[in-house]
Amino acid sequence: MNIIIEPISEAHIAGFRACLDAVAREKKYLAQYEAPPLDRVAAFVRDGVAANVSQFVALDGAAVVGWCDVIPHWAHAVRHCGTLGMGVLAPYRGKGVGGRLLAACLSKAESSGITRVELEVRADNRSAIKLYERAGFRREAVKRKALLFDGAYFDAVQMSLVRD
């Protein structure tokens, strides 16, 4: 498997949306059940590219099989902070794709002046929590009943990575 990690571009919009939709429909890893419409995803990608936001995709050939982004906060006092989002298609999990995406994304975010990266992960997603901890993230809090999937509540762990 020869997976390439590269910054997202407009050429990846449809593939990114398809990947996002597939992960969302698992109803386990993201807070949404499906991807937004293509026009909203396209605007999100175009805005991020124009602002030089840290957004990367994992490619197997031309197919987007994962993504990672750090979206900077906009308010003055928290411009040094960003929120991490990521996902990897099921057949590519456990093969180092997430770690490579995360490393690329964090590196660019740091070089862009982001010194605090925040995320929220479902408390029972042990593999993701271990990935984040290996990258230096620390647990900050547990939000009880933070997520609701098909009538079942799940806690979420809030984590952060703080750079000097």
pLDDT in tens, 134-155: 999 999 999 999 999 999 999 9
Domain count along the chain: 1
Position 92 confidence tier, pLDDT thresholds 50, 70, 90: very high
**Residue 68 φ then ψ, to 5°:** -155, 135
Rounded to an integer, the average pLDDT of 85-91 is 98
Q: What is the pLDDT of residues 32-81, one digit of tens each?
A: 999 999 999 999 999 999 999 999 999 999 999 999 999 999 999 999 99
* pTM, full prediction: 0.95
Confidence of residue 28 (pLDDT cuts 50, 70, 90): very high
Q: Tokens 């990947």 correspond to what residue?
A: 19
The pLDDT of residue 125? 96
Classify residue 34 by its DSSP letter: S
15 — pLDDT class (breaks 50, 70, 90): very high
- Look over the chain and give the mean of its residue pLDDT values, rounded to a whole number: 97
Q: Among residues of the chain, what percentage have pLDDT more than 90? A: 99
The pLDDT assigned to 1 comes to 72
> What is the Cα–Cα distance from 113 to 163, expressed in whole angstroms?
10
Domain containing 92 — which CATH number?
A: 3.40.630.30
The parent domain of residue 153 ranges over 3-162
Q: How many Å apart are CA 162 and CA 15, to the nearest integer?
A: 31
Separation of alpha carbons 102 and 69, rounded Å: 8
Residue 164 in this model has a pLDDT that exceeds 90? no
